[in-house]
Amino acid sequence: MKVFVVGNVAVDETFAVSRVPHEGESIFGTRLSTDLGGKGANQALILARCGIPTIFIAAVGSDAKGDLIHRCLNEEPVAARLVKTCSEASDSSIIIKDERGGNAIITTTDCSRLLNLEEIEKRMKDAIAHDILVLQGNISLATTQRLIAKARSRKMKIILNPSPFEIGIEVHLMNVNTVFLNQHEAFQITGHQSSDAVEKLLTLGVETVVLSEGEKGLLLGTHAGIFSVPAHTCDVIDSTGAGDTLLAVALAAAILRQENIALRSLEVASRAAALTVSRSGTRMAFPTVEELERLLS
């Protein structure tokens, strides 16, 4: 079984501030790191570090940041099948991290929005039934819709993380198997919170719903009911990438056990996410191959 992650890749620049500034306000900050980022890249490289055969498809620009992205991906066990564009600069993100470990993120999608179905299809010719497609909210809705239809025709399993949220993504939920999302995205899609939101998503046709409620933990919704998974306690240094770690490790644990995402998969994923938030940065904060091997054993 292979996992195809189709999404975005970016260069993350992280700044530490005492607090997020108000509108029109200037404050001092400290640059912490420049590293590989983007939700698609994050999820792909963590899956690969878990030992899952992972193919990552994304668009990059013909620029210095694109060169950096290539170098960083070459250091990871992921199979990167990148589409080089000349008309746009590689995507980038500015991450503002406050003293409590919270963050605010500004990310560009000019490059990832150029990714079209034809280029993706060229890089998915080896996809077969029961392979898995992982999507986020960074590629265009039109491409997302067509890609979901293609994956369903191949009898692939589809996992969607609708982040960043865009109005219109909700109509595609009935065609995916699993949805990972946070409280804000759940409310934007359903108008409900907590277990009410999970129940609404299940009625839309989603088979499995994983709702992150931050420090309160997780909710898992399936046809068997709605179950809670407590958060793994830790000192939060930087919450960037926690959701990507959660998704990737939960999926990896389920694949390795040859089962659907279940409570024990999420318990392992919660511990992995706790490792991520206890460190600063993006890629450098993710659990290592050795750490993930111990968690997944």
CB atoms within 10 A of CB 5: 28
Task: Give me the tens of pLDDT residue by residue for the chain, a chain 297 residues long.
Answer: 999 999 999 998 989 899 888 889 999 999 888 889 999 999 999 999 999 999 999 999 999 999 999 999 999 999 999 999 878 899 998 988 888 777 788 889 889 999 999 999 999 999 999 999 999 999 999 999 999 999 999 999 999 999 989 999 988 999 999 999 999 999 999 999 999 999 999 999 999 999 999 889 999 999 999 999 998 888 888 788 999 999 999 999 999 999 999 999 999 999 999 999 998 878 999 999 999 999 999
Ordered by where they begin, the domains of the chain are 3-20+28-296 (3.40.1190.20)
CB within 8 Å of 265: residues ≥ 6 apart? 250, 251, 253, 254, 257, 259
How many Å apart are CA 250 and CA 257, to the nearest integer?
11
Dihedral angle over CA of 262, 265, 267, 272, nearest 10: -150
Cα–Cα distance for residue pair 281/141, rounded to 1 Å: 29
* Surface-to-core class of residue 9, CB atoms within 10 Å of its CB (0-12 exposed, 13-18 middle, 19+ buried): buried
